[in-house]
Chain A
Amino acid sequence: MGTANAASNMTVTYKDDVSTLDPAIGYDWQNWSMIKSLFDSLLDYKPGTTELTPDLAESYTISDDGLIYTFNLRKGVKFHNGRTMTAADVKYSLDRVTNPKTQSPGAGFFASVKGFDDASSGSGSLSGVSVVDDYTVQIELSRPDATFLHVVAINFASVVPREAVEKWGEDFGKHPVGTGAFYLDEWTLGQRLVFKKNQNYYHAGIPKLDQITFEVGQEPIVALLRLQNGEVDIAGDGIPPAKFLEVKNDPKYAGAIVEGSQLHTGYIALNVKMKPFDNLKVRQAVNMAINKDRIVRIINGRAVSANQPLPPLMPGYDPDYKGLSYNPDAAKKLLAEAGFGDGFETELYVANTDPQPRIAQAIQQDLAAIGIKAGIKSLAQGNVIAAGGEVDQAPMIWSGGMAWIADFPDPSNFYGPILGCGGAVPGGWNWSWYCNESIEKRAIAADSMTDPADAEKRMAAWRSIFTDIQDEAPWVPIFNEQRFTMRSDRLDGPDGIFVDPVHIPVHYDQVFIKEGQ
């Protein structure tokens, strides 16, 4: 590995303006990783992995009942404005993100913290967070939550300085002040953002670049041309689908494209509250009717086919699970057993942006082969989400373009909102409306195993939860999307940081410029 050059700069392009850099608000894949470079949380992930590692907290202890987390903060960490970060800042930041006035889309992640209900209704504050001394924070939970360490690593838990937030008010997202590896030096609306190296950063040798320039407003196709021309280092929106095969098969760019997995599953949700999908055999028949490999080919092989809800990158994935494989004849037999020997008519909801309607057509053809006539309802994304949130609207939904990418690398995040009873409510994201009380109990039990020594046992519990769910077939898991990052010749660093599972598209803190470039 080389070292960074004297004044190294990387240029990254995006189509859309950056919405906000306020860590309590930002929740799109574009600002997610930018915020990670400007701010820090108590914990972080080892670059290129899903493994937690201490960050602003040097160490932590968990009480035996799993309810009290004590974090010992790193000393001498400075905000970009020069002030030293202390435990009071951690408390302030968590109070702020759960305060309804902040309108944080991530407030719900802190639901297990004591006092959350008072805080979110505006009648009190997050009483579970207390400052023990300047460098010790204690967080008390109202129920054991094994995912809590992921929660304090998420962007919404970033530590922000009160004086800067109060100074800028609603414009804090345009004038972010954090403790991160970079600070925001310039933001010209609609044109560019410039991140400069934080010279006082507490991780030695990080960041490796002196500057990152984000140019916004560039169509992906234009960004690709500029990348091929050597004017840009990373096209943030990725390789446009229409050019994907051409670029991928061009030997000139063989070393430039890095492939990695992500915490994503594309699936068909079968509404178990609507006929005839209330019948297990019908759901199994649909599972066996879909030719997943063909769908993967439709998107130029940018995915791997799936047989269970969890993606392979997620801890708890079961590599030995067979699931229901493609077998139209067996599917027809199952349909006949269920009393639908002549098939039936239904509807498939799908987002109307390419390639989703093409995928829906493939599904439609596969279903037709076993006698199911599915009409395609191709709607704006928001309308499909709204239909899925109603119990009697959408019998089938193809999730492409909408769901589900995990917020953090823990199997629990693939259950609660999308397969658990909590998500099977009006406006929820559990579009199959699957709610199994016994599974729900097992999920709560698994998330109560907070002792790190029980981690293996907990993963085993989640593994069987997901395979048991899949045996009931509320979903047809179709594929897990792969990520492809194309980088310029100048950039260097381990492959993992270019397809980092948490920092998308690349881990900005870790990238460096090749020597002599």
Chain B
Amino acid sequence: MTTYICRRVFEALLILIGITFVTYVLLYLVPADPVRQIAGRSATAETVENIRRQLGLHLPFYEQYWNYLSALVQGNFGRSYIQKTEVVELIRSRLPASLLLMVGAIAAELILGLTMGVISAVRRNSATDQVLMVVSFIGVSAPQFVVGILLLYVFAVLLGWFPIGGYGTFSHLVLPALTLGFLGAGWYSRMMRSSMLNVLEQDFIRTARAKGLSKARVILRHAVPNALLPIIAMIGIDIGIFMSGIVVVESVFGWPGIGQLAWQAIQRVDIPIIMGVTLVAACSIVLGNLVADIVALFVDPRIKLR
């Protein structure tokens, strides 16, 4: 077990270094010149050159990349070109909001998805089942910015149940968490449905029914926990999906997380921030997958270590 985890962590490190390299190359190749952006339109050629030197951007690519990596190892993500603030500070101040949003989204997708899945499975092929599966289909396919703006318009503007964007209280969290979780809810309802159908056909369910247990008790105590096992392992993978979702959802709802930070940085070619957020996102995806694999190991003893 320890060897397995060590090996996985080592692999994760290699992946992360690979990601820094690929991202750095891509940003290096972006034709927009960050130095000109900093220098502004009234700068002389001399000023531009001076700023380029101070940022070390006149060096050849491999030296720039090496300098970035060596600073990174010491926990130094650099300073934002535009915001002139340490990237670490920008990410640290925004990370809690993103984590909160993700926790909210996990709760939303599990509650919605699992409930829909269980109901669909139990009422298999009924009208309810079909309606729920259409909803889940919409969840999987609707773009998040559309879902977000619709929810915002209906529940915040028209009905006034929730605030129009912002951050701070539980009621601020509801709509963005629903938007972000809606996609996952679509997946989970389908997985839960098939997983439930699978379990409901097992012998022990028939046995439970034969013992005279009520239908509700059979479903909640015997079927659902067994159907859940393969699904729990998926939650880790969700983190990766959320990482792309938060860029959109945070922008729509004005949620002060790292997704919004990334979106602003991309628009302003603020390379140190783009690098920093990409790394944090990559770390959480790698970590999420690792956790998913380890959890899967515990819930399903059929998985063998190799």
A interface list, Cβ under 8 A from B: 16-17, 19-20, 22, 25, 27, 100-101, 103, 105-109, 111, 120-122, 170-171, 173-174, 188-191, 215, 217-219, 221-222, 225-226, 229, 231, 380-383, 385-386, 403, 407, 417, 425-427, 429
Report the separation of the CA atoms of residues A450 and B31 in the bound assembly, to the nearest whole angstrom. 42
- Within 29-72 of B, Cβ neighbours of A (below 8 Å) are at 31-33, 36-48, 50-51, 54
List the 9 shortest-distance A-B pairs measured between CB atoms, nearest first. A105-B40, A382-B32, A190-B256, A189-B93, A218-B254, A217-B254, A100-B50, A108-B42, A20-B84
Closest A-chain residue to B40, C-beta based? A105
The interface residues of chain B, by DSSP majority, are classed as helix
Report the separation of the CA atoms of residues A106 and B39 in the bound assembly, to the nearest whole angstrom. 8
How far, in Å, is A430 (CB) from chain B's closest CB? Answer: 11
A residues in contact with B252, CB < 8 Å? 219, 222
- Within 73-131 of B, Cβ neighbours of A (below 8 Å) are at 79, 82-85, 89-90, 93-94, 97
B residues in contact with A19, CB < 8 Å? 82-84
Report the separation of the CA atoms of residues A433 and B48 in the bound assembly, to the nearest whole angstrom. 20
A385 and B36 in contact (CB under 8 A), knowing A19-B84, A103-B51, A425-B45? yes
Report the separation of the CA atoms of residues A515 and B105 in the bound assembly, to the nearest whole angstrom. 44
Are A174 and B85 neighbours in the complex by a CB distance under 8 Å?
A: yes
A residues in contact with B93, CB < 8 Å? 188-190
Are B94 and A190 neighbours in the complex by a CB distance under 8 Å?
A: yes
Report the separation of the CA atoms of residues A19 and B268 in the bound assembly, to the nearest whole angstrom. 10
Are A417 and B83 neighbours in the complex by a CB distance under 8 Å?
A: no
Are B264 and A427 neighbours in the complex by a CB distance under 8 Å?
A: no
Report the separation of the CA atoms of residues A170 and B86 in the bound assembly, to the nearest whole angstrom. 10
How far, in Å, is A319 (CB) from chain B's closest CB? Answer: 28
Q: Which of A101, A106, A191 contacts B42 (CB 8 A)?
A: A106
B interface list, Cβ under 8 A from A: 31-33, 36-48, 50-51, 54, 79, 82-85, 89-90, 93-94, 97, 149, 152, 156-157, 164-167, 250-257, 260-261, 264, 267-269
Closest B-chain residue to A413, C-beta based? B42
Are A105 and B43 neighbours in the complex by a CB distance under 8 Å?
A: yes
How far, in Å, is B165 (CB) from chain A's closest CB? Answer: 5
B residues in contact with A229, CB < 8 Å? 157, 164
How far, in Å, is B73 (CB) from chain A's closest CB? Answer: 22
Query: 23 A-B residue contacts at CB 8 Å?
Result: A17-B261, A27-B40, A100-B47, A103-B38, A103-B39, A105-B38, A105-B41, A109-B42, A120-B50, A189-B256, A190-B93, A190-B256, A190-B260, A217-B250, A217-B260, A219-B252, A222-B164, A381-B32, A382-B269, A386-B33, A403-B41, A407-B42, A425-B45
How far, in Å, is B53 (CB) from chain A's closest CB? Answer: 9
Report the separation of the CA atoms of residues A242 and B255 in the bound assembly, to the nearest whole angstrom. 23
Q: Which of B33, B36, B47, B264 contacts A17 (CB 8 A)?
A: B264
Closest A-chain residue to B85, C-beta based? A174
Are B42 and A190 neighbours in the complex by a CB distance under 8 Å?
A: no
User: Among the interface residues B93, B164, B251, B267, which one has the most CB atoms of the partner chain A within 10 A?
Assistant: B164
How far, in Å, is A156 (CB) from chain B's closest CB? Answer: 9
User: Among the interface residues B44, B79, B254, which one has the most CB atoms of the partner chain A within 10 A?
Assistant: B254
